[in-house]
Amino acid sequence: MLGSALGDLDEITPEDVVSFILERRRAGAAPREKTIPSHLRNLFVFLFWSGQTERNLGRSIPPSRQPKPTAIPRYLPPEDIQRLIESARVTPNTGRRNYAMLLLLSRLGLRSPEVVAIQLNDIDWRRGEILIRGKRQLHDRMPLTDEVGRAIVDYIQNERRGSDRALFVLSRAPYSRFKNGQIVNLILKDVYDATGIAPPQSYIGSHILRHSLATDLLRKGASLEEIGDVLRHRSQMTTTIYAQHDVEALRGLAQPWPVEGDVR
């Protein structure tokens, strides 16, 4: 049993748990604010329900507040995005797959978990639509552009193998679906290295393509409401962070100054 290998787990107190989290935070060991509390909570819930502890210490872990981003989103210019996408296209054995995945991210603004969650039957070829399985179990239908559609067809016909119903699968037997969206970060790392383009931030993540799409749309004259629709934001406040790239767009969000008579 796990408990016998680690000693008496019931001797752990809520104070011990909170002290451990604070110590790890001070040591800078948590790459993201919610990582350690989330993992510990899952561990203690498992220990309790598997009968290895008498109480559920997961309830003693305080919620971790994730501060809202205030920095201007990093992005890449359209020409760099295109170079990255084309570089992925020539990757041996997985070029068609990688190319289609990056197109979905950069043209439709999808998140990496949404890309790997796409099923074969999520695409309505007659209507030119694709079902997106988004955050919090929310589903949306988006138009499938000709460029993205052709890339997916090319991948299915000439590279994809296996019987898994996920659209994007591993390139080796048994050709199963991906467990998470980390594959996209690995693809991006490879194309950064291949093209020599420097990532705009130290952490290489797929959100750079989403931010770049939003920034490009803003500079081409799209409204914040239109950008929010493309990115499927549930709140307009989420989209306003992009207004920092455009002062004039930010002015449009300002409320009229209250006046009394003719005095401002």
- Catalytic residue list: 111, 135, 207, 210, 233, 242
What distance in Å separates the CA atoms of residue 209 and residue 212, rounded to the nearest whole number?
5
Q: What is the dihedral of CA 195, 113, 136, 199, to 10 degrees?
A: -20
